[in-house]
């Protein structure tokens, strides 16, 4: 038995077994099948943030449940969204209904259920800013509601990354009736002359920024940023400033956050594709499958980048997507 694992890097990859889940009952049923087969169970969405090996010794459930419910609690608009819904469709739906907050997260590929796992973020906004709770199906098939603080959110991290046994079945978001656009990122500011207009205009602007900078996974297979932006000590950052006149560096909790894209660019990786894997020209943090790449090819390329960035700058780059083995 084998089950092809959908993934936007277009890697040939199969789980030992798998199935589609259109409801929490399906999740329970599939988990029982996995238990009967003695396989670890994992749910995925559209495969836009995973790097699966050629053979994955797991049972993989692809979440396909649908549904968006809106309600108001103590004057605050909420949406309760099934894991299998498309993330970008949710962003445009909310903007069109006057439910605000998610605009800067437009065009992030993938499903709603996958969004909290890596705590998706862009242009100064993270999904964790809006999460009220996440409904999961636990390893015993029981429904549990995790509050925002139970989810262990930080930059591109959550408790779900290390607990694949918790299957996200729906996400509850607390949004706003007021449109308070977050425009402080230079790329975003540059899109507007004087005023931003309405939420739909901001969604359109973010969409065009991303379309200019990032490859469409449907055309050039990729999983977005392949590495996290590293956080280093003040002394490492100062040392690096001597090498880079224009080092991109932001003070964050725990140190100085650098731009992985800048380090990779500076090391010359944009000009060093293999015949199968390369860095995207407009955003070298994104590794692309140039045709026929296997997981080994992608990992070998990523490892070579990590080793060189470490040797040149003393900075360890961590992988951003989840590896499935």
Binding site for ligand EPU (CB under 6 A): 122-123, 187, 213-214, 224-225, 228-229, 248, 259, 261-262, 265, 283-285, 320
Q: Name the minimum Å distance from CB 260 to ligand EPU.
A: 6
Is residue 182 part of the annotated active site? The answer reads no
The rounded distance, in Å, linking the Cα atoms of 301 and 125 is 30
Q: Name the minimum Å distance from CB 216 to ligand EPU.
A: 12
The rounded distance, in Å, linking the Cα atoms of 272 and 116 is 33
| Closer by beta carbon to ligand EPU, 9 or else 24 | 9
| Closer by beta carbon to ligand EPU, 77 or else 110 | 110
Q: Name the minimum Å distance from CB 269 to ligand EPU.
A: 10
| Closer by beta carbon to ligand EPU, 18 or else 230 | 230
Is residue 225 part of the annotated active site? The answer reads yes
Q: Which DSSP symbol is given to 60?
A: E
| Closer by beta carbon to ligand EPU, 214 or else 293 | 214
The rounded distance, in Å, linking the Cα atoms of 9 and 53 is 12
Q: How far is CA 73 from CA 132, 176, 189, in A?
A: 11, 11, 33
Is residue 156 part of the annotated active site? The answer reads yes
Q: Name the minimum Å distance from CB 29 to ligand EPU.
A: 33
Q: Name the minimum Å distance from CB 223 to ligand EPU.
A: 7
Strand partners, 69: 80
Q: At what angle do helices 87-96 and 199-213 cross, to 10 degrees?
A: 150
User: Following DSSP, what letter does each residue of 120-161 receive, concatenated?
Assistant: -EETTEEGGGTEEEEEEE-TTS-EEEEEGGGG--BTTB-HHH
Q: Which residue number places its CB atom closest to ligand EPU?
A: 224
Q: Which of 48, 133, 225, 322 is catalytic?
A: 225
Distance from the Cα of residue 67 to its chain's centroid: 21
Q: Which of 31, 156, 158, 170 is catalytic?
A: 156
R_g of the chain computed on alpha carbons: 20
The rounded distance, in Å, linking the Cα atoms of 39 and 58 is 5
Q: Which of 126, 128, 320, 322 is catalytic?
A: 320
The rounded distance, in Å, linking the Cα atoms of 76 and 69 is 14
Q: What is residue 323's three-state secondary structure?
A: strand
Q: Name the minimum Å distance from CB 144 to ligand EPU.
A: 27
The rounded distance, in Å, linking the Cα atoms of 309 and 319 is 13
| Closer by beta carbon to ligand EPU, 84 or else 224 | 224
| Closer by beta carbon to ligand EPU, 29 or else 228 | 228
Q: What is residue 301's three-state secondary structure?
A: helix
The rounded distance, in Å, linking the Cα atoms of 18 and 324 is 14
Active site residues: 156, 225, 320
């Amino acid at each position: 038995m084998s089950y092809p694992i959908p993934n936007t890097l277009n890697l040939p990859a199969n789980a030992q077994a798998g199935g589609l889940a259109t409801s929490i009952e399906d999740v329970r049923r599939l988990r029982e099948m996995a238990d009967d087969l003695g396989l670890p169970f994992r749910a995925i969405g559209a495969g836009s943030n995973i790097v699966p090996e050629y053979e994955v010794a797991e049972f993989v459930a692809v979440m396909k449940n649908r549904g968006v419910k809106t309600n108001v609690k103590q004057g605050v608009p909420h949406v309760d969204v099934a894991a299998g819904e498309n993330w970008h469709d949710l962003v445009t739906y909310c903007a069109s209904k006057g439910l605000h907050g998610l605009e800067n997260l437009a065009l992030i590929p993938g499903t709603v259920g996958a969004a909290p796992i890596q705590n998706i973020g862009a242009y100064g906004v993270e999904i964790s800013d809006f999460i009220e709770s996440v409904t999961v199906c636990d390893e015993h098939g029981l429904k549990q509601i995790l509050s925002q603080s139970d989810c262990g959110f930080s930059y591109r991290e959550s408790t779900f990354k290390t607990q694949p046994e918790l299957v996200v079945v729906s996400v509850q978001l607390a949004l706003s009736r007021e449109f308070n656009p977050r425009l402080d990122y230079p790329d975003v500011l540059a899109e507007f002359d004087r005023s931003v207009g309405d939420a739909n205009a901001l969604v359109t602007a973010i969409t065009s920024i991303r379309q200019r900078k990032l490859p469409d996974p449907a055309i050039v297979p990729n999983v977005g940023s392949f590495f996290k932006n590293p956080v280093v000590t003040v002394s490492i950052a100062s040392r690096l400033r001597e090498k880079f006149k224009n080092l991109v560096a932001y003070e964050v909790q725990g140190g100085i956050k650098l731009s992985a894209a800048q380090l990779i660019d500076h090391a010359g990786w944009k000009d060093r594709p293999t015949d199968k894997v390369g860095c995207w020209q407009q955003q070298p943090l994104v590794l692309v499958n140039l045709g026929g790449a296997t997981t080994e090819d992608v990992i070998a390329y990523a490892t070579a980048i990590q080793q060189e960035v470490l040797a040149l700058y003393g900075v360890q780059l961590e992988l951003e997507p989840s590896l499935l083995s």
